[in-house]
Amino acid sequence: MDDAGMARLGSFRAEVGRLAPGSHEIDLSKASFLCPAACAFMTAVRDDAAKRGVFLQVDGARCSDDLARHLEMSQVIPGERRSRTTVPVRIFPPGSTAFGAFLRDEWLPQLRDLTAPASEYVQLAMGEIFANAFQHSRSEIGVASCGQYFAKTNELHLTVLDLGIGIPATVAAGVGVREHELDPEKAIRWAFQPRNSSVPTSRGFGLAILSKFVSANGGGLKVYSGRGYAEIGALRSERSTAYPFPGTVVDVIVRRVLYVPGSKEELF
């Protein structure tokens, strides 16, 4: 997941937006791999396009064998092949609460040696990503998600994606200015600060809880949202991007969970 890849996904969505109703094929014959964000994005864009009569299909027979297998295991294309380490793409429509069961029953069991409090903490932190997307993004298709487990490093990845207005636009609307009047870098940094929220009933806990979870447990987090980018890991940084991503994509890496907060002060 990098700026160039995100820009290509943005171009892809724009191109799909110009297609006339009917059936169209996505040509992946020259692609060698699709990252989880791209798999989730393609599925979300396909579902979104279908609402206006544009039906997109990937012909697995025209892809390389490796890519076709990967797309099938991710359920981007139909097929029977599955992997114990790939959590297929799922779309959760607006208002859905099924992501709780998805996290608990499909995604989290991949990670070894979790205590009950650690498991609960992971579900809380990851659940906040979904809740944030549902509450703020205005994404018409809802939220797409998928995951991947790497056994050698005991690393579990989660991708959560929406096709909404993006964090910078959400922050701008919340503080009463136009999006172009806010620096995306500052907007996304602001959104990750505890107690900063663009919605009166919210308190700015969601992203702050996630942020604390990642930094306290040695995980990693990347967010592309509109023209904003944030990364939390060994170092923390935010910046603007040259091309806007049409929505928000959050990519989280969970490696181990040694820290679980014991009080309200330790949540953020």
Report in angstroms how near the CB of residue 52 gets to another protein at its nearest: 28
Question: How far apart (Å, rounded) are the C-alpha atoms in residues 36 and 253?
Answer: 12
Please provide residue 232's backbone torsions phi and psi, each rounded to the nearest 5 degrees: -130, 125
* Tokens found for residue 144: 């797409």
Burial of 227 (0-12, 13-18, 19+ CB in 10 A): buried
Instruction: Write each residue from 126 to 165 as x if it is in contact with another protein (CB under 8 A), else as -, in one continuous string.
Output: -xx-xxx-xx------------------------------
Instruction: Write each residue from 77 to 106 as x if it is in contact with another protein (CB under 8 A), else as -, in one continuous string.
Output: ------------------x-x-xxx-xx--
The one among 123, 154, 215, 240 contacting another protein by CB under 8 A: 123
Report in angstroms how near the CB of residue 209 gets to another protein at its nearest: 7
The one among 190, 192, 224, 245 contacting another protein by CB under 8 A: 190
> Can residue 107 be called a binding residue for another protein (CB under 8 A)?
no
* Tokens found for residue 139: 């994404």
List the alpha helices (DSSP H) in 137-245: 167-175, 184-191, 206-216
> Can residue 215 be called a binding residue for another protein (CB under 8 A)?
no
Question: How far apart (Å, rounded) are the C-alpha atoms in residues 47 and 51?
Answer: 7
| Residue 26: strand pairing partners | 58
Per CB under 8 A, contacts with another protein among 61-80 are: none
Contact between residue 30 and residue 265 where contact means Cβ atoms under 8 Å apart? no
| Residue 259: strand pairing partners | none
The binding site for another protein (CB under 8 A) comprises: 95, 97, 99-101, 103-104, 117, 120-121, 123-124, 127-128, 130-132, 134-135, 171, 175, 177, 181-183, 186-187, 190, 193, 195-196, 201-203, 205-206, 209, 260-264, 266-268
